[in-house]
Amino acid sequence: MSNWDHMDKKVWKESEVMNEFEKILVKAMVNLSSKLEEEGKVVEAQQAAEISNKLKQINTDVQNASSGMSDFLDTAKNLAADDLKDDKEEQVDEVKLQEEAKSALLEELSLLARTASDDGDYKLAYKIERTIDSILYDEE
């Protein structure tokens, strides 16, 4: 347009056809712009909904994992308590068995000492009595 003559420029600006054409173009551009904005808002809303759904899913997964971990810890605590209880019971049983074995051993040694004494083997009877005493004193 810079090469146009002054008169041509004036005619161009005053032309009704060109003014209408310009109005139609501006209107089309405004419509297109508003449609693009609406489309952008729809896309943004869809993306926001997708993100929201993903966050809800992550939250649910975290809660499930937390619940599972809590159940696991409770089970582990219960098993540990059961193991401790079993260990204590085994220790008590072991102590009882040891006491019974010691008691049986002392009875056998006492019987042997009496038999040795009855047979006149006082030296052997004395050694057996010393063994019985050492077992009894180790207990205390």
Mention every residue, 6+ apart, whose C-beta is less than 8 A from residue 12. 1, 4, 18
Q: Which domain holds residue 79?
A: 6-139
How far apart are alpha carbons 44 and 75 in whole angstroms? Answer: 46
Residue 1 lies in a domain: no
Q: Residues 50-88: pLDDT tens digits?
A: 877 877 787 777 777 777 777 777 777 777 777 777 777
- What's the one-letter identity of residue 46? Q
Q: Is the pTM of this model over 0.85?
A: no
Residue 40 lies in a domain: yes
Residue 120 lies in a domain: yes
- What's the one-letter identity of residue 135? I
The total number of structural domains in the chain stands at: 1
Please give the average per-residue pLDDT across 36-42, as a whole number. Answer: 75
- Statement: residue 1 has pLDDT above 50: no
Mention every residue, 6+ apart, whose C-beta is less than 8 A from residue 135. 102, 105, 106, 109
What mean pLDDT is reported for the chain?
79
Residue 112 lies in a domain: yes
Predicted pLDDT of residue 84 = 72
- Statement: residue 13 has pLDDT above 80: no
Residue 110 lies in a domain: yes
Please give the average per-residue pLDDT across 16-43, as a whole number. Answer: 79
Predicted pLDDT of residue 139 = 59
Comparing 45 with 99, which gets the higher pLDDT? 99
Contact between 9 and 1 (Cβ < 8 Å): yes
Residue 119 lies in a domain: yes
